[in-house]
Structure formats: structure tokens, C-alpha cells
């Protein structure tokens, strides 16, 4: 729940607010303790107790997305903090604009200002707007040197004559009924955004599982972005913002942007659909018997449909053309891998695990109608060893046997988990 204007004004201007926030920061404010903690705050700060707890909890959420020193003084409510883009993602996007020579940008759904911080860091002239006046008030505190105003995202406001800023938008993808899947049901509708800004280039943030076919009428490129293995969002870019290397390619260009954040260090790996040295056909043709290791690519690579590109770039191949597992005899940096110890039909899995003395089992399933928890209970393992079993359906359900290996169907790879190497 956001703040009322009265609550926010008290938090930002009362001489008692700093002491209240400091007291709230010392409380656990967990699901278990929130009733007692709120009572403690209410005893000290009366009707302002709820707002103090909201701000403290929101800043704790923001700390996972912002540097510590920024999160500590960040003005946000819990909903805004949960919905906000991680700063590492916003910085990547801002650097992309700067690399194209973009000088002016406007975030028309700026909320409390995360994207504005990144745009300013990249030395772009930027402005922001949001339909929620309370969030605009917080954005003004977070970004004191940037013009932020209350406005509907579809409301085009005058700037410097002849200047057409890049428009950044993040349509709401949830309502009271839950997640919104259709682009035209988002707020504002994506089609309406495109129509509202003729002559402007657009960057529109979307869910990472967006149907790319819905973007082809107006977008030239889509970036699917992950942070530490979790797909965070997709970002659709109009033609003028397409990466220079992709401009001669037909159709919608795709990038998987894999961001690894560790403390103050960030690394970015990009797998792109236009990389010329990749031979997807060769990767598909080699699909079949596993190498020494089986690996699952980063979520952004899978969502972007670039598993074969990634495999070709890394000298790997596919376990099966229809699955997102890759395999090979080396492990690319940063990937979790599973060293293959044995391959058996699922019906022989219990016996094979018993022979290895396995009692603790991780089960991963792709393409097969198997419930890991039900299978684990059925196996009734009692050993002291540990293993990972990767279960996959190879080939079509009624296809002919594979040459040189097990018949097509559901097979189990008994593996040893290998921790990812650091970059």
C-alpha cells in the first residue's frame, strides 16, 4: 500500500521522522512480528506508525535492486520497490542509448525514479512523469536535479522545439485480477503508446515471456534481460534504437542480456540472434548423445529463443533439438553444470541409484510428464550419497530409436552437480 500525501509529507518534513525511521529500522517487521512491531511504532508515533513501517520494509526490498547507500535513503513504497527495475538493468539500458548517441530521454512511467537515476548516470538529459502524484513526489526527492511531473503516460508534453526524446515506458502488467498477458490490456496499452508518440523512438518494458510475434509490427529489437539467473523483463526497441550490428538483419532482432551482479561488480554477457559466426544448423545436427556435462542456459537465453546460438558460440551441442539443455565437454564460466555419470531408462533409475548408494536426490525434468516429488517418494532411496538426476524426453513420442544410443523416449541422466566457476 502506498502512502497518503499526509503520510509522505510527515515522513519527508517532520522533525521526528528521522528518529521514527531509525526506530523502525531496528525492528524485524517480519510476517511473524509485524503486529507487535507495528504496535511498538504506534505507541511512539501514533497514526504515522504504518507509514514508518511501510518505508522501512520498502527500503529493505529496494536494497536487493539498488546499491546500499542509495537504497538507505530511497523514497519508495513496497509496491513500487517490488515492481521496480533493478538498477543494473536500468544502467544497461541507459548505456545502450548513450552508445547510440542518444542525448535526450523521457520516462513516462517513472514511478519513484530508478530509470532516471541510470539515465542521468549515462549523461543523458532526462525527464520523467507518472500518473501517481505520491510517487512523483518521491521521485522528486530521489532525483532532485531532474524534472518530474504528474502526467498520463499517453500525454505528450512540450519540450525543447525540434527535440524528440526517446520514450521509455513500463506499462502495468498486473491488475486486481492478477497478471495481464495481452499487450492491449496493459496500462497504458502498448499499441496506444506507439500511436501517442509519432516521431519518437520507444523503449517499452514488458514481461520476459512476451510473445515476440506481437512486437513485429512496430519493434525492431527485443532484449530479454536476466539478473543472477532470473529473467527480469523484456524490452522492445523501435527501429532507430536497434543495435548497429543488427540493422541489416530481417525480422525482429533478439538479444539475451545476462547480468551477473556481485557486490559492486557487474558483468554483462550478450547472446544475439545476429551473431554471424554461429551455425545453428550444425548445433541441431549434433544433438544427441551427451558430452561430459549437461547444462541449462541462463533464463534470458531460453526466453529469447537463443539456446542454439549460445551452444554454437560456446562449442556445445543440444541434448535434444526440442529441449533447452546443452551439453559438451567443458563448462562455460558462470554456468551450473551436471557431470554425467550414467544414462538409464527411467524404469531402471531406482536400481541404478541404489547401486550408487544415493539417498539425497535433486530431480530436474524437461519435456516429460513426471512430478519430481512423486518420483522421489516412489524411489524410496535410503543411501547416504547425493546425486542429481536430469530427466528428459528425447525426440518425438513415437519416433524411431536414435542411432548409437538409447531409444527415443524418457531417459534419466544420473549426474554430479558442479558449482559454477566465477568469472
Residue 68: how many other CB atoms lie within 10 Å: 9
Residue range 212-235: mean pLDDT, rounded? 95
Q: Where are the alpha helices (DSSP H) in 205-329?
A: 280-285, 299-303, 307-314
Q: What is the pLDDT of residue 405?
A: 39
CATH code given to domain 85-272? 3.40.50.150
Structural contact between residues 189 and 129, judged by C-beta atoms closer than 8 angstroms: no
List pLDDT tens digits, range 257-281.
Answer: 999 986 567 899 999 998 766 555 6
Query: What is d(CA 146, CA 143) in angstroms, rounded to the nearest whole number?
Result: 6
Residue 131: how many other CB atoms lie within 10 Å: 18
Q: What is the pLDDT of residue 398?
A: 40
Q: Read out DSSP for 347-369?
A: GGHHHHHHHTTEEEEEEEEESS-
pLDDT over 60 at 49, yes or no:
yes
- pTM (2 decimals)? 0.90
Query: What is d(CA 376, CA 362) in angstroms, rounded to the nearest whole number?
Result: 9
Grid coordinates of 185: 490490456
Query: What is d(CA 9, CA 79) in angstroms, rounded to the nearest whole number?
Result: 19
Give the confidence band of 177 by pLDDT, cuts at 50, 70, 90: confident
The rounded percent of the chain whose pLDDT value lies above 70 is 92
Identify the weakest region by mean pLDDT among 18-22, 51-55, 73-77, 259-263: 259-263
The pairing of strands 253-262 and 125-130 is unpaired
List pLDDT tens digits, range 79-96.
Answer: 999 999 999 999 999 999
Residue range 146-154: mean pLDDT, rounded? 96
pLDDT over 70 at 407, yes or no:
no
Q: What is the pLDDT of residue 179?
A: 81
Q: Where are the alpha helices (DSSP H) in 273-317?
A: 280-285, 299-303, 307-314
Residue range 143-163: mean pLDDT, rounded? 87
Identify the weakest region by mean pLDDT among 71-80, 110-119, 225-234, 400-409: 400-409
Query: What is d(CA 353, CA 405) in angstroms, rounded to the nearest whole number?
Result: 20
Backbone angle region of 317, left / alpha / beta, with phi > 0 → left and psi within -120 to 50 → alpha: beta
List pLDDT tens digits, range 344-371.
Answer: 999 999 999 999 999 999 999 988 889 9
Q: What is the pLDDT of residue 249?
A: 79
Radius of gyration of the chain (CA): 25
Q: Where are the alpha helices (DSSP H) in 147-252?
A: 190-196
Query: What is d(CA 125, CA 121) in angstroms, rounded to the nearest whole number?
Result: 10
Buried b (16+ CB within 10 A) or exposed e, 337-363: bbbbebbbeeeebbebbeebebeebeb
DSSP 405: S
DSSP 330: S
Residue extents of the structural domains in the chain: 5-65, 85-272, 280-418
3-state helix, strand, coil in the chain (%, to 5): 35, 25, 40
Give the confidence band of 333 by pLDDT, cuts at 50, 70, 90: confident
pLDDT over 50 at 401, yes or no:
no
pLDDT over 50 at 406, yes or no:
no
Q: What is the pLDDT of residue 400?
A: 39
**Sheet-wide strand order for 104-107:** 147-150, 125-130, 104-107, 166-169, 202-206, 230-237, 221-227, 253-262, 265-272
Amino acid at each position: 500500500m502506498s502512502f497518503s500525501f499526509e503520510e509522505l509529507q510527515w515522513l519527508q518534513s517532520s522533525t521526528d521522522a528521522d528518529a521514527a525511521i531509525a526506530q523502525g529500522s531496528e525492528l524485524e517487521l517480519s510476517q511473524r512480528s509485524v503486529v507487535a512491531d507495528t504496535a511498538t511504532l504506534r505507541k511512539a508515533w501514533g497514526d504515522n506508525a504504518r507509514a514508518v513501517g511501510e518505508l522501512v520494509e520498502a527500503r529493505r526490498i529496494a536494497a536487493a535492486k539498488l546499491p546500499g547507500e542509495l537504497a538507505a535513503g530511497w523514497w519508495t513504497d513496497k509496491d513500487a520497490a517490488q515492481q521496480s527495475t533493478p538498477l543494473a538493468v536500468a544502467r544497461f539500458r541507459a548505456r545502450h542509448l548513450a552508445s547510440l548517441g542518444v542525448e535526450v530521454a523521457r520516462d513516462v512511467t517513472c514511478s519513484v525514479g530508478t530509470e532516471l537515476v541510470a539515465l542521468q548516470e549515462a549523461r543523458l538529459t532526462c525527464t520523467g512523469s507518472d500518473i501517481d502524484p505520491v510517487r512523483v513526489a518521491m521521485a522528486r526527492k530521489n532525483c532532485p536535479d531532474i524534472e518530474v511531473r504528474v502526467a498520463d503516460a499517453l500525454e505528450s508534453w512540450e519540450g525543447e522545439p525540434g527535440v524528440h526524446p526517446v520514450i521509455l515506458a513500463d506499462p502495468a502488467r498486473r491488475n486486481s485480477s492478477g497478471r495481464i498477458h495481452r499487450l492491449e490490456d496493459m496500462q497504458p496499452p502498448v499499441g496506444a503508446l506507439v500511436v501517442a508518440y509519432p516521431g519518437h523512438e520507444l523503449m517499452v518494458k514488458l514481461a520476459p515471456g512476451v510473445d515476440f510475434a506481437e512486437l513485429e509490427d512496430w519493434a525492431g529489437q527485443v532484449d530479454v534481460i536476466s539478473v543472477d539467473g532470473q529473467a527480469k523483463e523484456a524490452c522492445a526497441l523501435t527501429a532507430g534504437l536497434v543495435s548497429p550490428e543488427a540493422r541489416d538483419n530481417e525480422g525482429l532482432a533478439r538479444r539475451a542480456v545476462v547480468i551477473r551482479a556481485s557486490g559492486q561488480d557487474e558483468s554483462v554477457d550478450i547472446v544475439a540472434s545476429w551473431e554471424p559466426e554461429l551455425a545453428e544448423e550444425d548445433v541441431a545436427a549434433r544433438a544427441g548423445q551427451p558430452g561430459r556435462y549437461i547444462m541449462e542456459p541462463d533464463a534470458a537465453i531460453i526466453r529469447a529463443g537463443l539456446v542454439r546460438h549460445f551452444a554454437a558460440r560456446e562449442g556445445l551441442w543440444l541434448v535434444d533439438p526440442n529441449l533447452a539443455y546443452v551439453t559438451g565437454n567443458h563448462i562455460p564460466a558462470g554456468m551450473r553444470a551436471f557431470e554425467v555419470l550414467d544414462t538409464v531408462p527411467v524404469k531402471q533409475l531406482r536400481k541404478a541409484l541404489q547401486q550408487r548408494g544415493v539417498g539425497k536426490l535433486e530431480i530436474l525434468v524437461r519435456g516429460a510428464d513426471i512430478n519430481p516429488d512423486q518420483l522421489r517418494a516412489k524411489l524410496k532411496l535410503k543411501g547416504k550419497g547425493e546425486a542429481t538426476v536430469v530427466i528428459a524426453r528425447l525426440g518425438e513420442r513415437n519416433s524411431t530409436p536414435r542411432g548409437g544410443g538409447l531409444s527415443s523416449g524418457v531417459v534419466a541422466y544420473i549426474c554430479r552437480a558442479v558449482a559454477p566457476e566465477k568469472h
